[in-house]
Amino acid sequence: MSTGSAPPRLLAGVLRLALPRRDRDVLLADFAELFLYRARRDGRIRATAWYARQVLVAPARLLVARDSRNVVASLREPALRRRIVNAPRDMFVLETLWQDMRFAARTLGRSPMYVAVVVVTLTIGVGINATIFTLVNSLLLRPLPVLAPEELVEIYSFDGEIGIPITSSYPDYLSIRESATTISGIVGHSLLSANLTSNGSAEMIYGEFVTGEYFNLLGIAPHLGRLIGADDDRVPGGHPVVVLGHGFWRDRYAGNESILGEALILNGRPYTVIGIAPPQFSGLVHVFDSQLWIPATMADGIDPLGIQSRQDSPGDTRPERRGSRWLMLKGRLAEGMGVAQVQAEMDAIFSRLAAEYPAANEGWGSRVLPATSVRVHPLADGYLAPVAALLLGMVGLVLISACTNIAAMTLSRASARSREIAVRLALGAGKARLVRQLLTESLALALVGGLGGVGLTLWLRGLLIRFQPPTELPTTWSLPVDGRVIAFTFALSLAAGLVFGLAPALRGSRTNLVAALKEGARGTEGSGRRLGVRGGLVVVQVAVCVVLLVGAALMVRSARSATDVDLGFDPNGLLTYTLDMDLLDYSPEDAGDFFDAASTRISAMPGVRSVGRASRMPLSMGFNTMNIYIEGLQVTSGDPGTQIDAATVDGLYFETLGVPLLRGRTFGTQDTPESIGVAVVSLALAQSHFPNGAVGKRFSTGGLDGAPYEIVGVVGDTKIRTVGEAPRPYVYYAYERSTPSSATLAVRLDRDTPQLRAAVRQELLGLEPELVFLDDSDMLGILSMALFPVRFGAAMLIGAGTIALLLVSVGLYGVIAYSVARRSREIGVRMALGAAHADVLQLVLRRGLGLVAIGAAVGGVAAGLLSRALGSVLYGVDALDPLAFGAAFLILLLVAGLANWLPARRAARLDPVQALRAE
């Protein structure tokens, strides 16, 4: 049967919800049959209209029928009783609602300015809230696009010493997979970056390493070909296969199906394309858009990204070493199991592993968390959640401010309408009915504002998307406006409608009949309490505005001073090239020779001051920690040592970055692989662990019998992980003694010009035409990524502060203008009795500025309390920074003064004759 004969599915779905459970199917079938009959007789359009009407009417009818049983029993009057029970057209609820709506439309139609201002104000208030919610939603709330995400748990390895949950090793993953019974399956994954070469050009791509059960456990089906399975992840280094992300396949290969079976050259090795992932799946890391997936057993020729930790342990490749932790683990709960059971089992497994493999696993435990509670990583989440709360709180304040304005306007409208309301009350209208009528008006406006809010959200979302984090990682920063966002927007506007509608409605219905009818629209100040309420609203607004302005000023100061924070090195004119010679099959010795040659040739170029080499640059993504054992301190056999951030650098690194040598020496030609191990430590490490001088002291990296290192120098502290951090202990090892095949070349220029950059790059390619640049950046780029949160926050707060300022000036202007209008007679009398212009000006200004002063004081205290919440993103600025507070107050005073002065001036120019005659 064609679909033309069935009622529209959406309508049928709604109807289904409304029908009583007992005969739901029967009734639905009855409705469908009648629909069919009508469609044949009257045509589908009229039948649909009929059906839609039934959808609207049937629930109310059924509801009335159910409730009326009790009502009917209480009714003595048989006629009325019959009327209620039998009259099928008595649609109490819906009918009066319809009446109220029509009435609201008529009344509102008479004051288009009021409607316009309310709708625009609400649209702004609701729109920016919904926009921020969209951001929070896509970052924190949207579930992973996988099968039953609520059944997934995160399993972290947990080092008791540093106390943070981190990644796990591949052998540990295998051990858990073999013995765990509280989970029905487990997957490991990690971000990766690889160099894709084709036709002589190279590009960096980002994807995920995944274990064999990954796609199967997550319930992902291929778009084309097949996905990585258990058989693709058995032998370390033995499965050169790759699954492409749908977007990557579409953009890079134009969706060409013949790519299946072809080989991609990744880090110099061919990987066969076996399948394409479905479009909606972009990997397990939020916001990150995985371009491809590779078996985890291949994680040696290609390096994982993200949190890693390494302890010496046997094994030729990364997947074979138990001490190399780089995999994020997710398990699926077995039937009837919970997080607590998994944690208990993991505790047992980890303590068994610690006993079996003390070298790699001593001191390691586990931490199990429901996957829905973890967004990026427990560490990052601790940072994201308060930022999200802060953003939502900030725009929430703007909405409060908007509601305050609207409430004030509605209030003055209600008092202007008090006569109308009194007449209706006198004619016998119920108070409840009146409140409902007034509320209907507010809610109707709120709905229109909600619609506007959705529109504004769609537009602002476009702006936000342009505010992409400055990262090379492909992101799914698409901020979808989904059902959750729409629901949030409308819930918010309805709540706002209730807030700004309820107080005026209640007040309106409480109108004193006699007084209102007698007084008419006489132009006096009235009780004065009315301004009291409105004045109170302005105080709230000013306070909210001060909080936002202070926040904005602090963030701006922070963003500015973050660039002035002493990083411990000079980021200007510092180029960084991360090169991996292993990809070109260089032996470690050849790689060492290449880096030596590159350093020599580039430092000889005009305009280049010096060239240094490092395994990791400060503030770049990821970090590397090592456990060290300090001689004479706490070394017992079970001692896990002290975990310290570390990097390997050459002697010229310090000079190139501008890190000062404080004591001893840096590295030089006397440090060779044959000589004793040497290390340079940061000032923070020297002070915290070597109170009697660090130079000459020793430590080791592998327990009691590990290789010893002698500290030969102490250098100044630099920022390591974040710009805001306190001085962090840091160990530098000597490049001269080791020959790693990958390194970052740091090139200090006299003057940074594009020509010079191109020349340096050319020089490197001259040494090796097929050179792979894992990263070709500069220190300012790395810095801007590190500073992204504070800059983003500053932009957001400035936006919110500006809107709040606008709202407060409109609100203040409205209150003062209203007061002036109400008091025009009084002012006229005063002027007739000889008051000067200045006196009137003063009279009006005093009232407005008094409100501003109270609001500013309240807001100042609130801002002082709240600004501490910004602490984690404030660099070099005190939370109570007087300059920020001063600037906020000054801006507020200027704008509020203007909003106050305009109506005051009008009052002062009042013609007393006119004012008195108007009476």
Q: Considering the complex, state which of residue 90 and residue 763 has its C-beta at the smaller distance from another protein.
A: 90
Q: How far is the CB of 26 from another protein (least distance, A)?
A: 5
In the complex with another protein, which residue's Cβ is closer, 72 or 389?
72
Shortest Å, Cβ 93 to another protein: 14
CB of 99: closest distance to another protein in angstroms? Answer: 20
Identify the helix (H) or strand (E) that includes residue 486: helix 483-509
> Tokens 């095949």 appear where?
741
Nearer Cβ to another protein (53/518): 53
Q: What's the DSSP call for residue 139?
A: I
Q: Which residue has the tokens 């106050």?
A: 900
Rounded CA-CA distance 355/710 in Å is 32
Residue 729 pairs with which residues in a beta bridge? none
Using the structure block, give the residue that is written with the tokens 């009528």.
437
State in angstroms the smallest separation of the CB of 519 from another protein.
Answer: 49
- 570: closest CA among 661, 663, 655? 655
User: Nearer Cβ to another protein, position 62 or 429?
Assistant: 62
SS3 328: strand
Give 45 or 113: the residue with its C-beta nearer to another protein: 45
Q: 534: burial class by Cβ within 10 Å (0-12, 13-18, 19+)?
A: buried
Burial of residue 730, with CB atoms counted within 10 A of its CB: 0-12 exposed, 13-18 middle, 19 or more buried = buried
Nearer to another protein, 33 or 262 (CB): 33
CB of 289 to another protein, least distance (A): 48
Nearer to another protein, 50 or 467 (CB): 50
* DSSP classification of residue 694: -
Helix (H, G, I), strand (E, B) or coil at 114: helix
Nearest distance in Å: CB 25, another protein: 5
From CA 456, how far away is CA 86, in angstroms rounded?
Answer: 48
Task: Work out how close the CB of 506 gets to another protein at its nearest, in angstroms, rounded to a whole number.
Answer: 36
The HSE-up count of residue 685 (CA atoms within 13 Å, CB side) is 28
Our CA angle for 159, 695, 161, nearest 5°, is 10
Nearer to another protein among residue 87 and residue 432 (C-beta): 87
DSSP at 903: H
> What sign for the dihedral angle of Cα 862, 864, 867, 868?
negative
Amino acid at 695: V
Q: In this structure, what are the phi and psi dihedrals at residue 565, rounded to the nearest 5 degrees?
A: -55, 140
Q: Which is nearer to another protein, 18 or 224 (CB)?
A: 18
Q: How many CB atoms lie within 10 A of CB 197?
A: 17
Shortest separation between residue 47's beta carbon and another protein, angstroms? 12
If the CB atoms of residues 2 and 86 are measured against another protein, the closer one turns out to be: 86
- Asked whether the beta carbons of 917 and 827 are under 8 A apart, the reply is no
Any alpha helices (H) in 768-836, and if so which ranges?
779-786, 788-822, 824-832
**Shortest Å distance, C-beta 518 to another protein:** 49
CB of 27 to another protein, least distance (A): 6
For residues 38 and 5, give the distance between their C-alpha atoms in angstroms, rounded to a whole number: 10
Minimum CB distance to another protein, residue 23 (Å): 6
d(CA 302, CA 240): 11
Output 4 or 78, the one with its CB closest to another protein. Answer: 78
Q: Interface residues with another protein (CB under 8 A)? A: 23, 25-27, 29-31, 33-34, 37, 54, 57-58, 61-62, 65, 78, 82, 85-88
How is residue 727 annotated by DSSP?
Answer: P
Nearer to another protein, 25 or 878 (CB): 25
CB of 21 to another protein, least distance (A): 14
C-alpha 731, offset from chain centre: 34
What gap in Å lies between CA 51 and CA 44, rounded to an integer? Answer: 10
CB 334 to another protein: min, Å: 39
Query: Please, which residue, 86 or 199, has the CB nearer to another protein?
Result: 86
Q: How far is the CB of 96 from another protein (least distance, A)?
A: 19
Could you give the 3-state DSSP secondary structure of residue 265? strand
Toward another protein, which CB reaches closer, 70 or 669?
A: 70
Least CB distance from residue 78 to another protein, whole Å? 8
Element containing residue 522 per DSSP (H, E): none
In terms of CB distance, is 31 or 653 closer to another protein? 31
- What is the DSSP track for 742-782? EEEEEEEESS--HHHHHHHHHHHHHH-TT--EEEEEEHHHH
Kindly tell me which of 5 and 675 has the beta carbon lying closer to another protein.
5
**Helices and strands, number each (H, E), in the chain:** 27, 25
Q: How far is the CB of 70 from another protein (least distance, A)?
A: 14
Q: Which of 19, 15, 85 is CA-nearest to residue 50?
A: 15
Residue type, 426: A
CA nearest 43: which of 253, 814, 51? Answer: 51
3-state secondary structure 147-211: CCHHHEEEEEEEECCCCCEECECHHHHHHHHHHCCCEEEEEEEEEEEEEEEECCEEEEEEEEEEC
* Contacts of 846 by beta carbon, 8 Å cutoff, 6+ apart: none
Q: Which is nearer to another protein, 1 or 427 (CB)?
A: 1
| Bridge partner residues of 325 (DSSP) | 309
Q: What are phi and psi of 874, to 5 degrees?
A: -95, 120
Distance in Å, CB of 29 to another protein, minimum = 5
